[in-house]
Amino acid sequence: MYSQRSTAVGSKHPRRLNPAVVIGWILFLAAVSIGQSSPADFDRLAQQASAARDQNDAVQAIALYSQALQLNPKWNDGWWFLGLLDYQQSRYIEGMDALSHYIEANPKAGPARAIRGLCEFETADYEQALSDLETGLASGAADHSRNESIVRYHLAQLLTRLGRFSDALQTYAYFAHDENPSPEMLTGLGLAVLGVPLLPKEVSPEKTEVLLAAGRAAFPYLSGNIDAARTAFQSFLQQFPSAPNAHYFCGYFLYPKDLERALEEFKRELEISPSNGQAALMAAWLLLMQNDAAGALPYAKKAAELEPSSSTAELVLGKAQLELDDTQQAMPHLEKALAGTPENLEVHLALATAYSKLGRKDDAQRERLLCLQMAKADARQLGRP
């Protein structure tokens, strides 16, 4: 539904008119003659527009839909088909306008939201494109697998472009079982892995090799093949040992099974990229898991400094200080973590311990009861089919 027909480059027919120019002339002539039309002409134009669309004559169909909509601006199906045709003809601004008319009358129309998002993507309105693509998927744009693939692929690129790398990787996981991922997809995956906020089309040629290699190394990880991913990423690190964020990502998928090696990778990342707050955060967290609060503390402080808006960084720093019996210093960080993530069970557990150490028995009891309620709610949630 969303696919576009390719157009030849370097055609041997230099006199062939650009479709956009043809459409423009037809719309101009339609505007000149519209004053002479009667409301009765609407049915004829609507039928002709549908026939032209069925015959894959997009230029004529766009002109006819446009003329019919001037006679009847409330024709919702007309706005839908006009927007779809505009998108297919790379008329993205016009497509956004037509689809906005349709969405105004049909706010829950998932496919229309998704196509408008694709138009916005092409016009570099990335924030709005992300909103429309996410809303579109949630509202039925994924009913057909081909449509879902197109939307999710653009969504993964947008999430990367906007710096949401973990979310981008989760979105790329949809394509984990593709047997022959395209170079563009592998480049896009490499951008997410290495934490580079760009689109594949924005990558300079000298960066293509490392991004493709990172994408190839990470692809097995998406399908859950951790052993293959570990081998692939070790090969990648041998080839590009100083690639920023590469050691962080390697540690990220190692830590569920190999804490020691994961910790080594996070520390190695910080040697290459001292400003990598996520690597500092993960190093602190793993050291806390190994009951090494003293070792975790400097990493936790670094993470909180580099990631000032991260509730997780505040939690980890607070936990490290709490385990070192520096409760007064821990409290402000735990309170910041609570303000950012009030539903986080780990925060409430830490607060219960802190209040107990401070002799605030009522507050500690309140937090313990809340922890029990949250744990029961999580258990009920896990028990659902």
Q: How do residues 55-87 score in pLDDT, each as one tens digit?
A: 999 999 999 999 999 999 999 999 999 999 999
Write out the two tokens for 26: 């037809």
CATH topology (fold) of 19-143: 1.25.40
Residues 37/71, Cβ–Cβ less than 8 Å: yes
Q: How far apart are CA 23 and CA 385, in angstroms?
A: 53
- Structure confidence at residue 231 as a pLDDT band (50, 70, 90): confident
Average pLDDT score over residue span 238-242: 91
Average pLDDT score over residue span 204-216: 94
Average pLDDT score over residue span 102-109: 94
pLDDT of 3-43, one tens digit each?
Answer: 443 333 333 444 455 555 555 555 544 444 444 555 568 99
Q: How far apart are CA 271 and CA 194, in angstroms?
A: 16
Specify the pTM.
Answer: 0.78
- Structure confidence at residue 167 as a pLDDT band (50, 70, 90): very high
- Please check the confidence at residue 236 and state whether its pLDDT lies above 50: yes
Average pLDDT score over residue span 143-164: 91
Residues 266/251, Cβ–Cβ less than 8 Å: yes
* Cβ count within 10 A of residue 179: 4
What residues does each domain of the chain span?
Answer: 19-143, 163-240
The top-scoring range by mean pLDDT among 105-119, 170-184, 221-235, 245-259 is 105-119
Residues 111/140, Cβ–Cβ less than 8 Å: yes
What was the pLDDT predicted at 11? 38
pLDDT of 357-382, one tens digit each?
Answer: 999 999 999 999 999 998 887 766 54
